[in-house]
């Protein structure tokens, strides 16, 4: 193996571990050891006294290498240990890094952090007849990752699953209740792998809501012997289309209520996922948001942050690094994950990451810019956020504004008063508003 490569690798990793690199004399001695020279030969070639090389330079050198390799290194064992260490390091660097953390954490990924006891609660709930689970949390908190694992466990039990992401639907469908419900029925049939037969059950005279319910009642549910999980992700998309929302959301509640008096409807279990509040006026007995099991996702705990760092094989000590990172982003799952990814694969130190976080050279710049663009599209949100940023204490803001900013993950509410959710947002928006 190339000696310069080994020496460079040793120096790089010493610096990475906050230790001094080899000086010129230590480098000469290491090269001599790797060339199977005696200390006397090394001293003579370098014009040093043998005692200085043996008792001072070599001892310091072997101590550094012992710390780096975490093995007791002697002159005799040094070549073998260092070559083995170098091979492992090169092999580790040649391995393909995992996908950049962005959105859904893939099934079977070792980087998914369980949200106990939530997983078990959802699994138990949807195993019951006719249930409804409501998962609500700000964006980028891990809702979809949680959802796909819940439905995967249901599939493994033999349940049939229909997964609908409303972000994938065209506005022309979302703006028309007839098209929306027709598309819903076709999608459910397709995912259940049965013919749609929409025309056989659709009656314009009784309207699309009744037709949709009859389609489930007379066709879909009788076709399937096992429980059916209807999972709707990004339900908040429909909130932007009040006319469709005011018809469809009560329909979900109606189907939930039907299960109380119908064995057939008990086959249907619903999971809805959304990040914002519903602003469409609904009567209390029509809303699906005050029934079923409510599930909220919190920020990562210190233990969960350390767990994720361990899975990336980061060497952290005494929870110091995890606490520093949490001070910056308050345990925000995606922001924590991105930081740990960079610390592992992008050769950036934690100090550098913390110092540059709210700046254009920081790892969160794109994330921060997206928030700013979204705020500028809704001036009322921007004005309220500016008020929060400039206040020294939590402040009161309009409920709808508060819900929107909370859904974006920018603020947290304490006794109905708003404050920024983490130091990162405070530093970034202070710079924006003061510029």
- Do 126 and 90 fall within a single domain? no
The mean pLDDT of 65-77, rounded to a whole number, is 92
Task: Provide the pLDDT for residue 4.
Answer: 82
- Do 69 and 128 fall within a single domain? no
- Do 252 and 141 fall within a single domain? yes
- Do 90 and 122 fall within a single domain? no
pLDDT digits (tens, 9 = 90+) for 152-211: 999 999 999 999 999 999 999 999 999 999 999 999 999 999 999 999 999 999 999 999
The mean pLDDT of 369-387, rounded to a whole number, is 94
The mean pLDDT of 403-415, rounded to a whole number, is 89
pLDDT bin (cut points 50, 70, 90) of residue 94 is: low
- Do 88 and 129 fall within a single domain? no
Task: Provide the pLDDT for residue 9.
Answer: 87
Q: Is 324 inside a domain boundary? A: no
Separation in Å, CA 68 to CA 16, 29, 87, 235, 297:
10, 17, 14, 52, 40
Q: Is 323 inside a domain boundary? A: no
Q: Which ranges of 175-301 would DSSP assign to H, the alpha helix?
A: 177-191, 198-201, 208-214, 221-223, 242-258
| Region of poorest pLDDT, from 2-11, 57-66, 401-410, 425-434 | 2-11
Relative to beta strand 417-420, strand 411-414 is: antiparallel
Task: Provide the pLDDT for residue 403.
Answer: 83
Task: Provide the pLDDT for residue 285.
Answer: 66
- Do 176 and 85 fall within a single domain? no
**How many percent of the chain have pLDDT more than 90?**
78
- Do 122 and 90 fall within a single domain? no
Choosing from 247, 271, 296, the residue where a domain stops is: 296
Strand partners, 420: 411
- Do 127 and 276 fall within a single domain? yes
- Do 161 and 262 fall within a single domain? yes
Q: Is 422 inside a domain boundary? A: yes
pLDDT bin (cut points 50, 70, 90) of residue 89 is: confident
Q: How many domains does the chain have?
A: 3
CATH of the domain at 420: 1.10.10
Task: Provide the pLDDT for residue 277.
Answer: 64
Cβ 336 vs Cβ 330: under 8 Å: no
Is pLDDT larger for residue 429 or for residue 416?
429
pLDDT bin (cut points 50, 70, 90) of residue 8 is: confident
Q: Is 348 inside a domain boundary? A: no
In terms of residue numbers, what domain contains 233?
A: 118-296
DSSP 303-357: HHHHHHHHHTT----TTHHHHHHHHHHTT-HHHHHHHHHHHHHS---HHHHHHHT
pLDDT digits (tens, 9 = 90+) for 227-267: 999 999 999 899 889 899 999 999 999 999 999 999 999 99
Q: Is 373 inside a domain boundary? A: yes
Strand partners, 231: 163, 271
| Verdict on whether the full-model pTM lies above 0.85 | no
Task: Provide the pLDDT for residue 223.
Answer: 95
Is pLDDT larger for residue 380 or for residue 90?
380
**How many percent of the chain have pLDDT more than 70?**
97
- Do 87 and 130 fall within a single domain? no
Choosing from 59, 94, 129, the residue where a domain stops is: 94
- Do 161 and 85 fall within a single domain? no
CATH of the domain at 235: 3.40.50.300
Helix/strand/coil (H, E, C) string of 123-183? Answer: HHHHCCCCCEEEEECCCCCCHHHHHHHHHHHHHHCCCEEEEEEHHHCCHHHHCCHHHHHHH
Distance CA 215, CA 194 (A): 13
The residue assigned the tokens 């690199």 is: 21
Task: Provide the pLDDT for residue 6.
Answer: 87
Report the phi/psi class of residue 294: left, alpha or beta, with left for phi > 0 and alpha for psi in -120 to 50.
beta
Choosing from 243, 270, 296, the residue where a domain stops is: 296
Distance CA 279, CA 277 (A): 6
- Do 279 and 381 fall within a single domain? no
pLDDT digits (tens, 9 = 90+) for 275-312: 876 655 666 567 788 889 999 999 999 999 999 999 99
């Amino acid at each position: 193996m190339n000696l310069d490569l080994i020496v460079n690798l040793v120096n790089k990793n010493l610096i990475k571990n906050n230790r001094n690199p080899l000086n010129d004399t230590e480098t000469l001695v290491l090269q001599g050891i790797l060339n199977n020279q005696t200390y006397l030969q090394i001293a003579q070639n370098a014009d040093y006294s043998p005692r200085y090389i043996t008792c001072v330079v070599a001892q310091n050198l072997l101590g550094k290498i012992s710390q780096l390799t975490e093995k007791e290194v002697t002159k005799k064992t040094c070549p073998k240990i260092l070559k083995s260490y170098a091979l492992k390091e090169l092999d580790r660097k040649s391995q393909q890094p995992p996908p950049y953390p962005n959105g859904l954490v893939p099934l079977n990924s070792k980087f998914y952090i369980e949200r106990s006891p939530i997983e078990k609660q959802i699994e138990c709930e949807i195993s019951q007849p006719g249930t409804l689970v409501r998962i609500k949390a700000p964006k980028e908190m891990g809702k979809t990752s949680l959802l796909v694992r819940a439905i995967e466990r249901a599939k493994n039990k033999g349940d049939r699953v229909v997964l609908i992401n409303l972000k994938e639907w065209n506005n022309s469908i979302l703006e028309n209740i007839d098209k929306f419900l027709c598309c819903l029925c076709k999608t459910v049939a397709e995912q259940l792998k049965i013919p749609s037969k929409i025309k056989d059950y659709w009656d314009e005279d009784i309207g699309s809501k009744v037709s949709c319910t009859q389609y489930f009642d007379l066709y879909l549910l009788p076709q399937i012997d096992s429980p059916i999980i209807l999972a709707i992700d990004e339900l908040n998309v429909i909130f932007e289309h009040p006319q469709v929302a005011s018809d469809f959301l009560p329909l979900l509640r109606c189907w939930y209520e039907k299960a109380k008096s119908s064995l057939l409807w008990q086959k249907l279990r619903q999971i809805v996922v959304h990040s914002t509040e519903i602003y469409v006026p609904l009567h209390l007995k029509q809303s699906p948001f005050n029934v079923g099991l409510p599930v909220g996702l919190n920020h990562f705990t210190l233990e969960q942050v350390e767990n994720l760092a361990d899975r990336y094989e980061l060497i952290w000590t005494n929870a110091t690094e995890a606490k520093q990172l949490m001070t910056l982003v308050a345990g925000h799952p995606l922001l924590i994950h991105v930081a740990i990814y960079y610390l592992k694969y992008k050769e950036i130190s934690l100090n550098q990451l913390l110092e540059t976080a709210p700046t254009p050279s920081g790892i969160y710049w794109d994330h921060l810019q997206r928030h700013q663009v979204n705020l500028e599209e809704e001036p009322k949100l921007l004005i309220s956020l500016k008020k929060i940023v400039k206040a020294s204490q939590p402040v009161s803001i309009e409920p709808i504004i508060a819900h929107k900013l909370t859904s974006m993950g920018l603020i947290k509410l304490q006794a109905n008063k708003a404050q920024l959710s983490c130091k990162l947002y405070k530093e970034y928006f202070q710079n924006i508003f003061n510029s």
